[in-house]
Amino acid sequence: MRICCALKLASAVGLRNGDAALIHKVTYIAQRLYGLNLGYRFAWLAGGPYSRELAAELRRGCIEGSCNINHVDVIAKRIKALIMRVSRSTGLNVEKAIDLISSYLMLALDVYPRPVNVVLELTKRKPWVTRELAHAVSRELRSLIKAIPA
């Protein structure tokens, strides 16, 4: 059932079923930043946040029917708006904006040992990310991260 919600979320954000890598990242953003409780566990891999469970369920697809979480569309709208803001402020395309947002979040919240400087760490992990880009996404996400319930 949760895969149906993940696919609904991805579709509402504007992704296609074939954009598997982006679906992982958007699902991670929804869970971590906006509290969508799908229960996927994410690893920190070279491509960014990745969930083996999500990958397995994506291969099966939504065979149970539909998503029973009502606020998926609301969360999708907020994610879409966040992506657009980051995209505008950095000049990056949607794909790179999603990668930047999800990678920053994971470094800030879920990796261990915690980076002392997330901006610097992000530039080390993603060679295409300059300090300016990292600072731009940091500015967008700082207040959102602070608002996450403990």
Summarize as ranges the residues that interact with other proteins (CB under 8 A): 17, 20-21, 24, 39, 41-47, 50, 52, 55-56, 59-63, 107, 110-115, 121, 125-127
Nearer to other proteins, 52 or 88 (CB): 52
Q: How far is the CB of 110 from other proteins (least distance, A)?
A: 6
Of 88 and 130, which has the nearer Cβ to other proteins? Answer: 130
Which residues fall within 8 angstroms of residue 55, CB to CB, at 6 or more apart?
20, 24
* Alpha-carbon distance values, 138 to 108, 117, 141 (Å): 10, 11, 5
Residue 45 parent element (H or E): strand 43-45
**Measured from the CB of residue 72, what is the shortest distance to other proteins in angstroms?**
18
Nearer to other proteins, 86 or 122 (CB): 122
Contacts of 94 by beta carbon, 8 Å cutoff, 6+ apart? 14, 83, 87
